[in-house]
Structure 1
């Protein structure tokens, strides 16, 4: 007790005042010119502090005079230097103690995560718990300064834990995606059905999402619309620019577009999306050129989506239809829709408006109709003799999602509707994807 009181007296008796205390890094102590200031462990810091305290105790007490003598000045300067050093050591001890606490906590959390991860019957809940534990362990390690005594091994451990977190996230997505196959079966869709769901942060789940459906049908019109918006933006073209619809692009169509007439670009895009106009699509393909469309898609990072053939009705084939076949996947189409709803494309508002004006509402819209918690935002459907599908935007409690469902067996509206309904119910019941 006597020793503590003496040190307190020395600390308060110096002329040093600290307006604020800034955390001192290890480098400040280790770079000291004094050999005893170089430390490599917390124990050495304790020993260094003890030596500094001993030095403070050994200093004589300054004599009380009305003026400072050289002797008093020398003593006070030594006290000042030692007190400052003691403060730095105390701060560093605190930093290292916290670093050790975070390290031990991270090890505990990682052990818990590993234990949860080997569950013989993992559920979504246990997978989420495992992922959360790995995240918390990493957070603890990231609180440890790089220049801490354990900085090097901490950085190595962070890399190790991040690999475990990646594996955990992957397993979580697999576990969550299992419900998609269950919904597919319950809805009556074929084994070739593809399903993708994403939120606007691009957190996604999918079933066969990278597999090609038998045909994209009219879903390929979304990429054409995106390419139009890229062109008008790059070349400063007005969407009011009239475009002549040639006779060679005529085919069976339920839209308002007629051959040998002029329509503004915006009208052609709108009719292509909300009325699924084949004539408008064919004219826009000619207007853009297939090489331009596919270059835009490639530049945007889409490896599968390609426009190679014009659209046709039941009998009438348009002039210069193209070569090959149109291709897309539910994963890439969903990502494109996410870009639209994120307003990542030029004139995304025009596309969002067209999707919201969708005339065909027998699939996604009808599937969500009896779910008051879910708001339908827009949709593009596609159907031919080989495939039926839809891609749509919806909102639940302000969170926007995009889902795409395609089955390579045409004419199965009830099954698609049932699938959309069950997917939306899952999002509602589980408060989202992740």
Structure 2
């Protein structure tokens, strides 16, 4: 009986150790210890990198995941590229139409028809409160194909814009927007590398992302004064956040939790990984 119990105990130990085979840099074990407290059925993927792209911790970083509103990051960068090429100005104005308005996140759906909105306002609202009406106007202005070409031209294949926001007909047809921790991190790293985008574009994007008002995930357990330039995403079955934590050592981090029971539990996991990343690698 003792022999049988001992064998079972060893089996449990192997299961616990192998459940979260996380790659960790610099021998940091706090993150590993935290992950081992999570339920085995937790569907999690994340990537933590330094500003130079060094991978510090990762778990399924190449998994393709429904992006939810995190897809708005490459939409923003495609817009800023068009501004840089003088194809439009952020001060140009758009007249809001009834047919532009969609539900979900955002306040523009409640604005009066005919309201004049600058593209700066549209970009800001797309990131600040994840306004879906603003996002769809920008997709129409830029063209979905152009946004997808922006991604493909930089080698991104997992990150895809295949439908507009709140397009339920497209969803029924199986069309979805996607990303992966690895690719969205790579996009964010461009904002720290002057060779990838212009300094002006990078600064504008960081400023807009820093104004994101959803603070329930990565910023939730960080020092209040710490700047976090990020974009969250939420679906019934996905909660994610991707951004830059500007500690003493800037960190690029994306975390996705899928198929959770309660959204608060997913947010708690993302927030705790953000805190541990900052304390282990960024402080």
Say which SS state the counterpart of residue 226 (structure 2) adopts: strand
- With over 3 angstroms needed to count, the CA separation of the structure-2 counterparts of 1:318 and 1:242, relative to structure 1, is farther
Instruction: Choose the corresponding residue for 2:256, options 401, 406, 413.
Output: 406
Say which SS state the counterpart of residue 399 (structure 1) adopts: coil
CA contact under 8 A between 1:190 and 1:408: conserved in structure 2? no
Shift of 1:333: 0.7
Instruction: Choose the corresponding residue for 2:218, options 364, 369, 386.
Output: 364
Shift of 1:329: 0.3
- With over 3 angstroms needed to count, the CA separation of the structure-2 counterparts of 1:300 and 1:432, relative to structure 1, is same
Distance 1:290 1:254 in 2: 20
| Pairing of 1:183-202 with structure 2 (within 5 A) | 183-187=34-38, 190-202=41-53
* Alignment gaps of 5+ in structure 2: 1-21
TM-score by length of 2: 0.77
- With over 3 angstroms needed to count, the CA separation of the structure-2 counterparts of 1:363 and 1:177, relative to structure 1, is same
- Deviations for 1:67-90, whole angstroms, at most 9, x for unmatched residues? xxxxxxxxxxxxxxxxxxxxxxxx
How many positions carry a matched residue from both structures? Answer: 254
Matched, 1:385 2:239: no
CA contact under 8 A between 1:244 and 1:262: conserved in structure 2? yes
Shift of 1:417: 3.0
- With over 3 angstroms needed to count, the CA separation of the structure-2 counterparts of 1:355 and 1:189, relative to structure 1, is farther
- Deviations for 1:33-84, whole angstroms, at most 9, x for unmatched residues? xxxxxxxxxxxxxxxxxxxxxxxxxxxxxxxxxxxxxxxxxxxxxxxxxxxx
Shift of 1:308: 1.0
Instruction: Choose the corresponding residue for 2:129, options 275, 286, 290.
Output: 275
Q: Which has the larger radius of gyration?
A: 1
Matched, 1:209 2:77: no
Instruction: Choose the corresponding residue for 1:264, options 100, 110, 118.
Output: 118
| Pairing of 1:21-32 with structure 2 (within 5 A) | none
Which structure has the highest helix share of the two?
Answer: 1
Shift of 1:182: 4.8
Instruction: Choose the corresponding residue for 2:177, options 316, 319, 326.
Output: 326
Shift of 1:254: 4.2
Partner of 1:25: none
- With over 3 angstroms needed to count, the CA separation of the structure-2 counterparts of 1:424 and 1:240, relative to structure 1, is same
Structure with higher RCO (Cα < 8 A, 6+ apart) = 2
Partner of 2:95: 244
Partner of 1:299: 153
TM-score by length of 1: 0.52
Matched, 1:285 2:136: no
Matched, 1:335 2:186: yes
Partner of 2:16: none
RMSD across aligned positions (CA): 3.2
* Alignment gaps of 5+ in structure 1: 1-170
Partner of 1:13: none
| Pairing of 1:162-177 with structure 2 (within 5 A) | none
Distance 2:190 2:173 in 1: 28
Q: Which moved more, 1:358-367 or 1:185-194?
A: 185-194
